[in-house]
Structure 1
Amino acid sequence: MEWVQDIYRQPLVNVKGVPLIKYIGEMVESIQSFQAWPDDVLISNFPKSGSTWVTEIMEMIYQGGSLEKCHRAPIYERVPILELKWPGLSTGIQILKDTPAPRLLRTHLQLTLLPQSFLDQKVKVIYVAHNAKDVAVSFYNFYKMAKGHPEPGTWDNFLEKFMDGQVSFGSWYQHVLEWGELSCTHPVLYLFYEELKKNPKREIKKILEFLGRSLSEETVDHIVQHTSFKEMKKNPMANYTTIPTEIMDHSVSPFMRKGIVGDWKFVFTVAQNERFDAHYAEKMAGCKFNFRWQL
């Protein structure tokens, strides 16, 4: 397809100091006037940190555990990404115009690029954080299969860019820290991917309490089962296989690849790990959050 050649593997664009895919960068200014509603719930995280998983959990909560309702459309249409834009697909804003309250929506944006109305309306935020080493590995594989990104280059070069915040959506460090700081003044439930893996039922109950909702133990167990990595990986309404191959090539790397904690140990060299640890200690000095590298 000739049109694809003109839009994929383009350099990132800089928006207020944040590198973004070209088409997402073009959306940032236009979404600043987006009007959030008080009963919206926003799911936020840095890419490849578990937002698809938490989004499916949230959808099942909102649908009372109904699989049929959660299979009505692909996840990116059921819970749109605010800044999503790609030729041939509906933008996040377009989908949200037809979404009745109460709305679930997602973002990967740095806090500095978030429309002010979310803060003014005190919209509840569920933030999902994932340890930086596993995110770097997952993002590298995502870069390879999702052709809106620039060519990822070698793993070593990509890791340097990741550490320097020169990947799509910018710095992992800035993202997890600034959204975490927001929790001091705003209703934010800060979750960790690793804790979700260790005890999903406990974390789902945290979400329910935060939302002021209740479900039976049986329904919660049902949600745990059907939002497991094994189930979601084979679910076309959750695994992004409905996206055209020209945009996401699952033969290069599936969108839902491993879903484990500690995958970085199979990829990082000893030298890379030592360099990363030193850089991490500098960037995260004084951080109150305790990220786990393995379970």
Structure 2
Amino acid sequence: MAGTEELSFSEAIMAAGDAFHRFPLIKIQGVPLMCHIVHNWDSIRAFCPDPSDLLIATYPKAGLSLLKKMDPPRVIKTHLPFKLVPEGFWKNKCKAIYVARNAKDNLVSYYHFDRMNLTQPEPGPWDGYIHKFMNGELAWGSWYDHVKGYWEEREKRNILYIFYEDMKENPQREVERIMRYLDLSLADDVISRIVELTSFKTMKENPMTNYSFIPKPVFDQSISPFMRKGVVGDWTNHFSPAQAQLFDEDYERKMKDADIPFRTDI
């Protein structure tokens, strides 16, 4: 959870130094997670949100103790697949926003993130990483299960499901959509300011969103910046024709029963 995300950073920073090492993955209900998240799993599973809390869920690149000290309403970020989200979010009818990105661009971005994130398992070569992604062997599990899990529950759980590609194509439209979902009414100039502050260019220059404050033994941004390109279609610069064909065939098998309207270009 968002909690788990902050926990990852804080524990990784404390581990940085002579004894620093990459953390192994341990499975919870078949989902590979960082070992320190698994060690705190009982408190994560038991977390009880306030009905006013907002959950933002993504597959990656989408400390509960900190959350316990914060007063509601809170914005809580998670990479957990739907089946592992604490039940309290749904019992308390919390609003939730899920952000999904097309598989190929998500894979490319995650690969570069795993190269520079020295808390994650060694990603290995690109060709092998493609297979890890397709097999759901990366931290936080299968992209396919992740995007389908929230999609299938979106109406029952009142989840706002939005696409990264739509946000890149028309950010103001998507911000207004989020505002309506949250029952907010904002002036046009405020919405324009939100669009400006959440643009990739602005966030890439903001230390709080580019994570430049994370020490190099944790995030080695000389390998790859945390915020790298943020474009749609960068996958074409990484996949060979043979890799793209292999991936597309596997994608069709895994997504044949899902009608999620992903786009790989805009």
- TM-score, length basis structure 1: 0.83
The correspondence for 1:139, drawn from 110, 132, 139, is 110
SS state of the match for residue 120, structure 2?
coil
Aligned counterpart, 1:180: 151
Give the Cα–Cα distance (whole angstroms) in 2 for the partners of residues 181 and 6 of structure 1: 43
Aligned counterpart, 2:35: 22
The correspondence for 1:42, drawn from 44, 47, 55, is 55
CA contact (8 A) 1:110 1:169 kept: yes
Aligned counterpart, 2:87: 116
CA distances 1:42-68 after superposition (whole Å, capped 9, x unpaired): 00010003xxxxxxxxxxxxxxxxxxx
Structure 1 position 182, deviation (Å): 1.2
Aligned counterpart, 2:21: 8
The correspondence for 1:219, drawn from 190, 209, 223, is 190
Structure 1 position 127, deviation (Å): 0.3
Query: Is 1:209 aligned with 2:210?
Result: no
Q: Which has the higher contact order (CA 8 A, sep 6+)?
A: 1
Gaps of 5+ in 2: 1-12
Amino acid in structure 2 at the alignment position of 1:95:
L
Give the Cα–Cα distance (whole angstroms) in 2 for the partners of residues 94 and 242 of structure 1: 21
Give the Cα–Cα distance (whole angstroms) in 1 for the partners of residues 227 and 163 of structure 2: 18
Give the Cα–Cα distance (whole angstroms) in 1 for the partners of residues 38 and 106 of structure 2: 22
Give the Cα–Cα distance (whole angstroms) in 1 for the partners of residues 14 and 210 of structure 2: 26
Aligned counterpart, 2:236: 265
Structure 1 position 6, deviation (Å): 4.5
Gaps of 5+ in 1: 50-90
SS state of the match for residue 238, structure 1?
helix
Equivalent residues in 2 for 1:78-89 (5 A)?
none
Query: Is 1:164 aligned with 2:177?
Result: no
Structure 1 position 11, deviation (Å): 2.7
Q: Percent identity?
A: 44
CA contact (8 A) 1:201 1:224 kept: yes
SS state of the match for residue 27, structure 2?
strand
- TM-score, length basis structure 2: 0.92
Distance 1:6 1:111, change over 3 A: farther
CA distances 1:109-152 after superposition (whole Å, capped 9, x unpaired): 01121111111111110000000000111111111111111111
